[in-house]
Amino acid sequence: MSSAKERSFISAIGARPDVRMFFIFGQDESAVADIASQMTALLVGSERVDIDSDRIRNDPALLADEASALSLFGDKRHIRLNFRREEGLAAVENLLALEGDANPVIATAGNLTKASKLRKLLEAHPRAMAFICYLPEESDAAAAVMAYAATAGLKIDRPLAARIARYTGQDRKLAQAEIEKLALYYDASPQRPATAEVPIFEALSAETGEENVNGLVHVVMCGDLRGTGRELIAARELGVDAIRIIRAMQRRVTMLAAMRTKLDNGANPGAVVKATRSIFWKDADNYAQQLGRWPSARLAGLNAHLLEVEAKLMQVRDGLGVTILEEELVRIARAAARRG
């Protein structure tokens, strides 16, 4: 489920010892995480050291020290660095200035604008490689599902592939999990190919729909307070990650903002919804309702607020993060309900 450019970037982890930091970032957090995991998997027998940006912000020498250090038993090692916010620039500069051999750093971050100092540094520096993960179009996501299915020995037609992409919110790891479930059910392999059918996918996906947060996003943005309560309880019981939910909200707001721009220019709401290929026909009414409740100015304000919420969630303990998330989503649902 990857492009030639992505595969080339991943393989560089074993072919470019001159690169100090391999940096993966962008809107598609599932792709970011997947690429980082694939690169780590290629470093067989390498000790993994995890660091987050809070630590290198407070200790600018730490990253370079870890990259220079030997493993406890003299084995190879690598560093996984997660940027919670755009911070630790001095630490990154110290890393890139290292001479001689060094342990590779695989770093991940969320979406960074072109004005980001961190992004500018890592995209331009000869001792760094950067890869940006854009949110895929539905056609691309469906094609990726079909390609991954083929490697598992499954034949999937495009309508079913598009359905799997929509069901998983175009999250590549969740889509792969759905394919793997289907392959296990059919006992499929490249040597024993099988054709996947919609009823089987529906039966299997109904058992593990916990990671699909689209239902929660729908009820919040539509101002359905009772529905929001039910979905939040379900999400809490199933342990769905708060950051994952808030980023799903951000993607929805971005999508609605693009659609609202067309409406502001005189387009018909129904036509705009119908023309948006990533919207499943069963969800069309939900999107039309959300467009009516959220004009462009309010979407811009909500987008800014969601970024603040994400930053807050990254700074608190997991248990407190769930409480903050629930409070914020109820506030947003109430705002949508008042507008309706």
Architecture of 138-209 per CATH? Orthogonal Bundle (1.10)
Q: What is 214-339's CATH number, 2.102.10.10, 3.50.50.60, 1.20.272.10, 3.40.50.1980?
A: 1.20.272.10
Mean pLDDT, residues 166-174: 78
- What does the block give as tokens for 289? 């309702």
Mean pLDDT, residues 231-258: 84
Of 21-30, 183-192, 280-289, which range is least confident?
A: 280-289
State the residue for tokens 């709401």.
Answer: 269
Query: What is the pLDDT confidence band of residue 208, given thresholds at 50, 70 and 90?
Result: very low
Q: Please determine whether the domains at 4-133 and 138-209 fall in the same fold group of CATH.
A: no
Cβ proximity of 152 and 188 under 8 Å: yes
CA distance 304 to 306: 6
Query: pLDDT of 292-301, one tens digit each?
Result: 899 999 999 9
What is the pLDDT, as a whole number, of residue 105?
A: 97
- What does the block give as tokens for 176? 């792969």
Cβ proximity of 20 and 105 under 8 Å: yes
Phi–psi pair at 16, nearest 5 degrees = -125, 75
Query: What is the pLDDT confidence band of residue 334, given thresholds at 50, 70 and 90?
Result: very high
Cβ proximity of 213 and 248 under 8 Å: yes
pTM for this entry: 0.59
Is the model more confident about 108 or about 317? Answer: 108
Pick from 300, 307, 312: which is nearest to 253 by CA?
A: 300
**Percentage of the chain modeled with pLDDT above 90:** 42
Whether the per-residue pLDDT at 302 is higher than 90: the answer is yes
CA distance 152 to 196: 11
Give 37: exposed, middle or buried? Use CB within 10 Å, 0-12, 13-18, 19+: middle
Mean pLDDT, residues 254-276: 87
Q: How many CA atoms lie within 13 A of 340 on its CB side?
A: 18
Query: pLDDT of 209-228, one tens digit each?
Result: 444 688 899 999 999 999 99
What is the pLDDT, as a whole number, of residue 209?
A: 43
Pick from 234, 240, 216, 166: which is nearest to 332 by CA?
A: 216
Mean pLDDT, residues 265-277: 84
Write down the domain spans for the chain. Answer: 4-133, 138-209, 214-339
What is the pLDDT, as a whole number, of residue 2?
A: 60
Mean pLDDT, residues 6-21: 94
CB atoms within 10 A of CB 51: 19
- What does the block give as tokens for 164? 């799997």
Mean pLDDT, residues 110-115: 87
**Topology classification of domain 4-133:** Rossmann fold (3.40.50)
Specify the pairing of strand 128-133 against strand 154-155.
Answer: unpaired
What SS3 state is found at 237?
helix
CA distance 247 to 263: 24
Whether the per-residue pLDDT at 207 is higher than 70: the answer is no
Query: What is the pLDDT confidence band of residue 236, given thresholds at 50, 70 and 90?
Result: confident
Q: Which amino acid is at 235?
A: A
Whether the per-residue pLDDT at 99 is higher than 70: the answer is yes
Of 127-136, 141-150, 303-312, 316-325, which range is least confident?
A: 316-325
CA distance 35 to 39: 6
Query: What is the pLDDT confidence band of residue 318, given thresholds at 50, 70 and 90?
Result: low
What is the pLDDT, as a whole number, of residue 150?
A: 92
Detail the DSSP E strand segments found in 236-317: none
CA distance 70 to 226: 55
Whether the per-residue pLDDT at 237 is higher than 80: the answer is no
Query: pLDDT of 84-93, one tens digit each?
Result: 778 899 999 9
State the residue for tokens 């929001």.
Answer: 228
